[in-house]
């Protein structure tokens, strides 16, 4: 059955999706263009250099959209001009006025959470259970920054003779957001919410693999009442991203993606002296001490490795376990890993869906083969899964994998795999494991499981990472800053501090007396 629908009519889309029993029946083709600026969807100027979009669960052409058509220079320029015009209006509004619009956007997202989550699942392959959480985190983020919008203020500083100075917290202008494919809607929200709260406009480019849901966010912002052009979406890959980073009217680039691309974004931004936030990759350590509460540590290790098929930047993929408890830990972690229901991501009972693409699945499986060659022992998983549902036969599924006998010099321990592969390593002492944990160019996150409160805080202090989770992992409430040390990037998303990254201070100095001139 094939339906041709307008995506913008989300209610009809959802009713079609609601009639689908599983992930693969039916085809929903979006006929509307996926670019958005000037307050409306915009058709590509020419259908050049298109890239196919796949549906991870079926391996077929995506039922939502077949091709991503990249924007060229003229389109990028149009989007940025439209964002700039909107910025000039939006920046004049009081923080409380901006807050009201943002709260309405958050409300609409909350109301449509199931519909948006389904689109995310179809385009990204993650389980519906996780996608719903992602959408909830997205509206919470917009709500949180709406709350901060009315609090933005400067300082008053008294000077001699009744003179004074004051500071104004002002927006930067047009900010660019560039996103990765693992959290498409959430990344667009994490970037746009603080940007808009501070009075900026944003032009967002999603990953070419997940072009669908950013445009839904753009429509929701419009419906909530932002000026036309305030949040624009341009589709494209590296070339479009380059055009955005090099555009002279762009004040800031906030990038989420890999380290090599992040370096390029930083170079391009440096040429234009643009501010930049980099949210890059990781190879985070999770330290499990023998005095931990073992069941929690095991559950934590799974949370640290298997969310979104392991395609999570801050995953704790180097699991260091104190030697004395290694046998018990391995037994329990393998038992739980084997029990993870992998399959149709639209089913409520599924806990792990499909990886993003065939080449990515092959790359992850390649890491497992390499690990075996280098001496690791596969305790479970690490092979492709072909579900019994005939519609899912071409999907990019794999069994979550636990690797034992790992050493620090192995490829699987050094490189970001970005798939469901946990490397387990023994350690003896706290000092030793901290040294080994820090022996990496990455520094996004880290974790420690122990009942010893002093040890927990000492380890947190000594680990070189932007986040340390104590007795849990991958908990990211929007009130809490998130970002990296070392090559995992700089700048932060979420939390109050992010206001600093989307605003600048103007100092106004007021003379109340006569000018005391030296000349």
Ligand X SMILES: C[N+](C)(C)CCCC=O
Ligand Y SMILES: NC(=O)c1ccc[n+]([C@@H]2O[C@H](COP(=O)([O-])OP(=O)(O)OC[C@H]3O[C@@H](n4cnc5c(N)ncnc54)[C@H](O)[C@@H]3O)[C@@H](O)[C@H]2O)c1
Strand 445-449's sheet: what is its strand order? 377-380, 401-404, 421-427, 318-322, 285-288, 445-449, 467-470
With binding defined as CB under 6 A, does residue 181 bind ligand Y?
yes
Of the candidate residues 237, 272, 384, 387, the single one contacting ligand Y (CB under 6 A):
237
Q: Which of 35, 58, 123, 182 forms a contact with ligand X (CB under 6 A)?
A: 182
- According to the binding rule CB under 6 A, does residue 193 interact with ligand X? no
Site mask for ligand X (CB under 6 A), range 391-420, x = bound: ------------------------------
- Which residue in 59, 179, 381, 382 binds ligand Y (CB under 6 A)? 179
Name the token pair of 85: 């015009």
31: its two tokens:
């006929």
* Adjacent-strand bridge partners of 321: 288, 426
307: partner contacted, choices ligand Y, ligand X, none (Cβ within 5-8 A by kind): ligand X
Residue 388 tokens read as 């019994």
SS3 content of the chain, % helix, strand, coil (to 5): 40, 20, 40
The C-alpha atoms of residue 505 and residue 249 are separated, in whole angstroms, by 19
Q: State both tokens at 183.
A: 């959290």
| Given 121, 313, 378, 459, the residue binding ligand Y (CB under 6 A) | 313
Note if 311 is an active site residue: no
| Per CB under 6 A, 182 contacts ligand Y | yes
Say whether residue 140 binds ligand X (CB under 6 A). no
Write down the least CB distance from residue 186 to ligand Y, Å. 9
CB–CB of 52/374 below 8 Å?
no
| Shortest CB 467 distance to ligand Y, Å | 10
Q: Which of 78, 279, 311, 493 is catalytic?
A: 279
Q: Which is nearer to ligand Y, 178 or 376 (CB)?
A: 178
- Chain positions 467 to 506 lying near ligand X, rule: CB under 6 A, are 474, 476
- Spatial separation of the C-alpha atoms in residues 202 and 206, rounded to whole Å: 12
Q: Does 207 bind ligand X (CB under 6 A)?
A: no
Q: Which is nearer to ligand Y, 259 or 298 (CB)?
A: 259
Cα–Cα nearest to 395, from 124, 120, 185, 179: 124
Report how far residue 133's alpha carbon sits from residue 137's, in angstroms, rounded to the nearest whole number: 6
Report which DSSP code applies to 225. Answer: T
Backbone angles phi, psi at 123, to 5 degrees: -80, -30
Residue 280 binds which of ligand Y, ligand X, none (CB < 5-8 A, kind-dependent): ligand Y
* Rounded Cα gap, residues 295 and 472, in angstroms: 11
Cβ atoms of residues 422 and 305 within 8 Å: yes
Residues designated catalytic: 279
Site residues (vs ligand X, CB under 6 A): 182-183, 307, 312-314, 474, 476
Footprint on this chain of ligand Y (rule: CB under 6 A): 178-182, 205, 207-208, 237-238, 241-242, 245, 256-258, 261, 264-265, 279-282, 313, 416, 418, 444, 484
């Amino acid at each position: 059955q094939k339906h041709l629908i307008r995506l913008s009519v989300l209610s009809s889309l959802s009713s079609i999706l609601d009639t689908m029993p599983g992930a693969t029946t039916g085809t929903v083709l979006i006929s509307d263009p996926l670019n958005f600026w000037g307050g409306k969807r915009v058709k590509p100027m020419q259908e050049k250099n298109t890239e196919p979009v796949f549906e991870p669960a079926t391996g077929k052409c995506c039922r939502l959209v077949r091709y991503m058509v990249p924007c060229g220079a003229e389109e990028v320029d149009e989007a940025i001009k439209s964002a700039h015009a909107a910025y000039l209006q939006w920046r004049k509004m009081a923080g409380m006025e901006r807050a009201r619009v943002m709260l309405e956007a958050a409300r609409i997202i909350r109301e449509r959470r199931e519909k948006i989550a389904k689109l995310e699942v179809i385009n990204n392959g993650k389980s519906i259970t996780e996608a719903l959480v992602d959408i909830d985190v997205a509206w919470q983020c917009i709500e949180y920054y709406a709350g901060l919008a009315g609090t933005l203020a400067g300082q008053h500083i008294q000077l001699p003779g009744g003179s004074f100075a004051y500071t104004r917290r002002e927006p930067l202008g047009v900010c660019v957001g560039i996103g990765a494919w693992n959290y498409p809607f959430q990344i667009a929200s994490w970037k746009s919410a603080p940007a808009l709260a501070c009075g900026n406009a944003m032009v967002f480019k999603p990953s070419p693999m997940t072009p669908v849901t950013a445009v839904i966010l753009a429509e929701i912002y419009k419906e909530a009442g932002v000026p036309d052009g305030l949040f624009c979406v341009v589709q494209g890959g590296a070339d479009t991203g380059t055009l955005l980073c090099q555009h002279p009217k762009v004040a800031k680039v906030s990038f989420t993606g890999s380290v090599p691309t992040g370096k390029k974004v930083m170079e391009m931004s440096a040429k234009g002296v643009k501010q930049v936030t980099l949210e890059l990759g990781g190879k985070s350590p999770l330290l499990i001490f023998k005095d931990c509460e073992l069941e929690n540590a095991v559950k934590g290790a799974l949370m640290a490795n298997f969310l979104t098929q392991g395609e999570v930047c801050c995953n704790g993929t180097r699991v260091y376990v104190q030697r004395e408890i290694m046998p018990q830990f391995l037994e329990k972690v393998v038992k739980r890993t084997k029990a993870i229901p992998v399959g149709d991501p639209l089913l409520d009972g599924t806990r792990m869906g499909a990886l993003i693409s065939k080449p990515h699945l092959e790359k992850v499986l390649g890491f497992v083969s390499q690990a075996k060659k280098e001496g690791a022992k596969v305790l479970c998983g690490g092979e492709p899964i072909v579900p019994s549902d005939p519609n899912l036969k071409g999907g990019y599924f794999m069994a979550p994998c636990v690797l034992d006998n790992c050493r620090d010099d192995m490829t699987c321990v050094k490189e970001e795999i970005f798939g469901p592969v946990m490397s387990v390593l023994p350690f003896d002492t706290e000092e030793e494991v901290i040294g080994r944990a820090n022996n990496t160019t990455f520094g996004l996150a880290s974790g420690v499981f122990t009942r010893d409160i002093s040890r927990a805080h000492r380890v947190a202090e000594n680990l070189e990472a932007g986040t340390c989770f104590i007795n849990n992992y991958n908990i990211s409430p929007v009130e809490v800053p998130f970002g990296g040390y070392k090559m995992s990037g700089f700048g932060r998303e979420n939390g109050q501090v992010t206001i600093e990254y989307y605003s600048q201070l103007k100092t106004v100095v007021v003379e109340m007396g006569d000018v005391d001139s030296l000349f």
